[in-house]
Amino acid sequence: MAALAARYLERGAATWSPRTLALYRDLVTRDLAGLGTTKAAHVTTADVSALVATYAKKRARGHQVRRSLSALFNFAADEGLRPHGENPTAGVKPFREKKTERYLQTVEVARLLAALATAERTGLPPAPSRARARVTGATAKHRPPSADVPVPADPVAVAIIRFALLTGFRRAEVLTLMWAEADAEAGVVRQRAKGLDVAGHVSGEALAVLVGVPRIVRSPFDFPSLADPMKPPHRGRRRAARTARPRRRAGPAASSASLRAGSRAPPPSGRT
């Protein structure tokens, strides 16, 4: 299996995107290690079922493992290592999923926009899960007076959240958006992500967000990385964007998918 997986990754490297290649390499090296010493022709449905069952608490990962194994055994059949039509993953039932939809309500959108304005102007206190514990006792004097003072959020990180909220663009579409893909006069922005490449109209408020972002010379990105303006944002501004989020309230937590759905959601009808 290990040699088969290596050949599979080598073939995929010619056509897959870097992100897909990294995902499959991670699956092969970490998740499929249990089958590494087994020959592809000897792997049974029971072996695959036992491996997938270990992801009962990480079902999304379990689905990825099952799909990658299915593709790997199809490749093994093409290589003549297994008969066609005898994929051991065929008899493995996927985990049952409960599909839910989460839309931001009007009051939540207003609260989010207010929190963004506060974060940009004066800053927000860190979320409880990210706040540093207060030191007491002999070492308390070493705590700087400014430790609990909010710091204004990175305005570009705030702009990222605002733009996602106003357009419904996916996270990857926002983070990789380039100046050449936005036409302020026509009110059109091109979307590129997951095979999608279309030009769509956006609101004047969304365009105003783009126009208000300081443009870095020679950087092609609307929201460039702090470390390297020639690349889209990675950890720096994503961390700043987390700081700009409002504190979590009771009820289901909002995510980037909630922002995307909320911008296209129907008028509030009490649905949560």
| Mean confidence (pLDDT) of the chain | 77
Residue 271, pLDDT score: 38
Other beta carbons less than 10 A from residue 145's beta carbon: 6
Please tell me the distance from the alpha carbon of residue 161 to that of residue 213, in angstroms, as a whole number. 12
Residue 268, pLDDT score: 39
Residue 188, pLDDT score: 83
| Cβ atoms of residues 186 and 199 within 8 Å | no
| Helix, strand, coil shares, percent, the chain, to 5 | 50, 5, 45
Q: What is the pLDDT of residues 4-30, one digit of tens each?
A: 888 888 888 888 888 788 888 888 778
Please tell me the distance from the alpha carbon of residue 74 to that of residue 36, in angstroms, as a whole number. 17
Q: What is the pLDDT of residues 236-265, one digit of tens each?
A: 455 545 544 444 443 444 555 555 555 554
Question: Does residue 191 sit in helix, strand or coil?
Answer: strand
Please tell me the distance from the alpha carbon of residue 86 to that of residue 41, in angstroms, as a whole number. 10
pTM: 0.55
| Cβ atoms of residues 1 and 35 within 8 Å | yes
| Cβ atoms of residues 235 and 241 within 8 Å | no
Structure tokens at 53: 């069952």
Residue 257, pLDDT score: 55
Residue 265, pLDDT score: 44
Q: What is the pLDDT of residues 117-157, one digit of tens each?
A: 998 898 888 777 666 666 666 666 666 666 677 888 888 88
CA-based Rg of the chain, rounded to a whole angstrom?
A: 24
Please tell me the distance from the alpha carbon of residue 206 to that of residue 219, in angstroms, as a whole number. 20
**Residue 191 exposed, middle or buried by CB count within 10 Å (0-12, 13-18, 19+):** buried
Mean pLDDT of 92-98: 78
Q: What is the pLDDT of residues 170-196, one digit of tens each?
A: 888 888 888 888 887 888 887 766 655
Structure tokens at 141: 């004097």
- Cα 9 to its chain centre, rounded Å, is 23
Residue 39, pLDDT score: 84
Between 235 and 68, where is the model more confident?
Answer: 68
Other beta carbons less than 10 A from residue 49's beta carbon: 15
Structure tokens at 94: 């996927």
Categorize the per-residue pLDDT at 272 as very low, low, confident or very high, splitting at 50, 70 and 90. Answer: very low
Question: Does residue 161 sit in helix, strand or coil?
Answer: helix
